[in-house]
Every structure is written in structure tokens, then in C-alpha cells.
Structure 1
Amino acid sequence: MYINHHCVVSKNHKPNSNIQVACHYSWERDVVNTSVFEQFCVANTPADADDVYMGAIMILMDNIEMYNDHKQYVPVTSNRIKKHFWTTCGESDCDMDNGRVDPALKMYYNCPLMLTKKNEDVPNRQAKGSRVFLRKVHVKPGEQPFIIKLHCGVRIRVFRVSQIDRITAKHEMKDMLPKCFDVKTHGVSFKCKMKIEKEKIEVRMKGIQFPLVSNSATTGHKLHGYTAPELLVWNWHYADIWVYMVLSRVREMKGLFLWKPLSLDLTRYQMPDEMVHMLEIFSRYIPFDTLSAHNYDEMLQSNAAFN
């Protein structure tokens, strides 16, 4: 993977091509996910540059509507506006009440994805934040793609989401059953930060898309509860406990790769003054008694009697 070339720690130790990348900002997520997709396409470029690479696909949001001055949603009929939306707006530009949506899903076989739909099917292990891999895109009968040429020069197929019946995904966790399941499209409402010439505007929009986002890179808080065999830290963010949280997400030190060196300035890791002040207030108003060995024995006995 191109972005990993600078992360080789020795001649015999290179990161896996599917290494998890940790970012702090959502726009960094967009950059890395797009980079990984394009580099995958470049690595598999057909011998004839005019041939279409069939191993990658892009799925565009469809049935797009915008909120107008009359406080009504109206269909977007202008192909120029749609193209501007698909090509300039990423996941980080489309905020939902609880999560994000990608106007243009960029996928290839076995690429890492994350479910974004609310927890509507938890018993079947299909919860928001579930990590999955792409297995198959089921195109509706008779539907034809249009072909685009990426900045990297590779030609790929593009479909509107209304042309796709479903996507088959596979759980990343091996103990999840059933292993594979189908994902259907759903309607989404979101606020889009769109750049028109040199002016940035925010507009309310609706559309239909799959409840999935690329997961080659993910923001720190989505790494909670996950242990990565290999982790590439894209950039450092020294506020709160971000550094500690990210470093604790990798299984072994040999699996940790840093895009930028970690600061040696220990003051950057200090607890925020607000947190120190809050703990001082707690210590004055909330009694903390030291637990003696005798108290601990009593607790164990009480617990045993209760059970």
C-alpha cells in the first residue's frame, strides 16, 4: 500500500496491505480511504490502459433532494449539481444526526467496511459500528454502469445506488454467525457542507445510499473495544486521551506504525486543567475511603452469601 512505504521499520518487516489506519479528523479518513482505493486500482491496472478494471466499483447516492427556501425538499434534477456533489463531497461533509453517509462508496472485493445504520438487527450481529468485508455487489437485472476514469488513470464501473439490489458483506469477527449477510439501501437525511466556487454553504439534503462507509481508515473513537494486529497512526492529536487510546488499540508493538513521530514533549500528555479542577472538587465533596484488607474480606463474604 502506497501510504505505508515510509512506515517500513526493517527490510524484513512490512505492514500488511490491509493495515488499519487511525485518524483523528474525519477529513483525514476521507483522504486515506480514497488513497487506499486508488492505490488498489493502480496495483491492479489492466495491461491495456483502455480496458475497464472490473475489480473495483463506485456506488453513488441517488434520489437526491435539497431543502429549499420554501422549507420543502425538492428533487435535484441538475446533472451538474449531482456531479459536483458526488465528486467534491465526502463522508466528512455529510453529517447525519448520529453518524455520516458517503455520497460515493468506493469498494473492491474484501475491502473493509463499517455498518452505519442504527442498531435495528443486533440479534443477528448487525449493529452500528460492526466491521465487515465486502463480498458481492448484486446489480439489478438489466442495469448498465457508466465508466469513469480516476485521477490515477484507471477506468472503473460506476452505478447509482438505485441500480443495486443489495450488497453481501462478511463479518470481520470470526465467531459471528451467520458469517455473511445482505445489506439493503435506506433513506438518509443529512446536512451537507458543499463548496460553491469559493464559498462554503451548508444545505439540508436527502437521498438513498447503503448504510456502509469505507473502513481502511477510521477515527479514534470508533476504535474503542477493537484490537488491531497492525495499526498505522496517520497523525497525532494530543488533546484528551487520544494518544493513549490509539496506542492501546494495537496488539503488539511490532504491529505499530507511525506516519509521524510521537512528540517527546511530556507536557503535551498532561491532564487538562479542567479535569484536574473537577477531580479536586470531587475530592472535597465526595468521600473516598481507603479499602482495607479486612473490608475486602467482608465484601467477598457478603458476595458469596448473596450468591
Structure 2
Amino acid sequence: MSNKTSRESTQEKKDFERFPLSSIIGENHLIHAAIASLIFIIVWTPYRFLTSILISKGISIRVVDSLVKPAVKSGIVLFCLRFLDKIPRNQYLRELGMKRENLFKGLALGLLAWFLYTITLQYVKLCLSADGLLLPSLRIMAWEPSKYFLDMAYFVFIIGLFEEMFTRGYILKELFNGITGKFRLLIALLFSGALFSLFHFPIDIFVMKYALDQLLLHSLFTLSFSVLAGVLFVRSGWQIVGVVVLHGLMDAKPLFYLAHPEARFDLVGKELLIAYLVSFSAPLLAIELIHKVRKKVVIGISSVRGLSSQDGF
């Protein structure tokens, strides 16, 4: 029993070990996360105010964001890595989770999470629609492949990449490294999720012009997504690629629809809240289940190898 407990403890440490470079530069990770978040809010709030003016002049927000978002978010991250964390330049990408290790694992989990979220959300909407439960009617939506995949590239490589590099790759990692205790991961996920929701306030207020109830609902949506993305990031071995793909695919139009052409979706308030919570829970539970099964398999294999070595095999 003691050997099993020791192996589980060792495996847990491997799952949640600190980044080696970050651990040698001091214990100011929480301050670093706070500084990065504050700089972003100070810069992004007036930018989003100006964005609403640009849109009124007929300028596309996508065109402007394609230039501004990468510059602002990568600039803040690079500033923090260099002057706060003092990470060597050749380790920047690795520190943010852009590495070859666990690449396939992260990508597979990201695609699985997107598929489960999308299919669950659409099915729940079918159940809660005005017409009641209708039989699913699969429809592939990429009728114009060039336009569809161009849009997808924008959401993955502009929106997903730079938002995840900033929020998960830097802020979540800093929060996790700065928090101690048994529930450090949960606390880091919730705090990073709250910040992620806060980061969306400027666009929700100045561009989307949400009412209070819409703002609260969208904040819950972004918080739920952030928790899912954070769990995916950690369970992928701090590999960011799968999270980037998940984010981009969720922002883009779905590749498929289960809805019947005559189905009417007018979900608001409580019904929409239920749909989102159930849809985020499905991939989250799947990722955790895969993680636990994999951990038990690894422990079992280690136990067998240990017994074999003791028996002289």
C-alpha cells in the first residue's frame, strides 16, 4: 500500500510540477500575473472603446484585431517573461506551452473537447427548443471550403493563439506556480477564469453593448470555457496547441449541425444557461476520465515492472 501511495504521489508531482525555469526566479508569480492582467486591461479598455468608433465608420473589427491583438498580447507576455520572470529568450515558446512534447496528446484532447462541446450543445438546444426534441439531422456546413477554412484560420491563429498564449500560457501558469496547497489547481483555474471574463468586459460593453443580464450570461460562458481550457492545458502536459485549436474552433461557425432545418432556437436566460453548463461539463468530464484512467494504467505498468525486477526477470 505504501509503494502504491508513493507512486501516486510521484505521478501527481509529475502532473503538476512547476516549470523548471520559473521555479528558480523567485516566488513572485502572483504579482507577475496581476501585473500582466493590469497592463492588458489598461491598454485594452480604451482600444475597445475606439473599436466601437471604428466600426461605426465602416472599418472591420476583424482587420483591426488581426494587427492589434497579436501585438498587444504578445508584447505583454514578452515583457513579463523578460523583465519579470527573466526567462532566457530561447525558452520563451517552451515556457508558454509551445513545445513538441505531448503535441499529439494535446491536439487529440483539444479536438475531442471541441467535438463533445459542439455535439452536446446542439443536442441540448434541440431538447430545449420551442419544438421540443427533434430527431438530429446532420448537416455539414462548409459549403464554401475556401471561405470556411479562411475564417477558421483567423479564429485559430489570431484569436485562439494569442488569447491562449496570454491567458493560459502565461497567466494560468503564473497563478498555478504562485499558489500553494491541495486545491492550487482549482483556485488557479477559477482565478484565471475570472480574469478571462473580465478581459471580455470591454468588448461586451463598448462593442456588443450587452445589457446587464447578457453581460452576466456571457461572463459565465467565458468563465466556463476558461475552466475547460485550463484543465485541457494542464492535462495535456502544459501543451498549448490543443487549447488553441479548441478556442479557435469554438469561436468559428460549427463544421456541422444536428438541428433540423425547421428547428427554432430561442433559448434565453435559464434554458441557455443550462445548455452551456451541460455542454462544458461533457468535455471536462471526458478529459478528467481519460486522465484518471491513464494515470491508473501508468501506475499499474510501473507496479508490474517493479515486481518483475524483484523476481529477477
TM-score by length of 2: 0.22
Higher strand content, 1 or 2: 1
Q: Which has the higher helix share?
A: 2
TM-score, structure 1 length as denominator? 0.22
Greater Rg, structure 1 or structure 2? 1
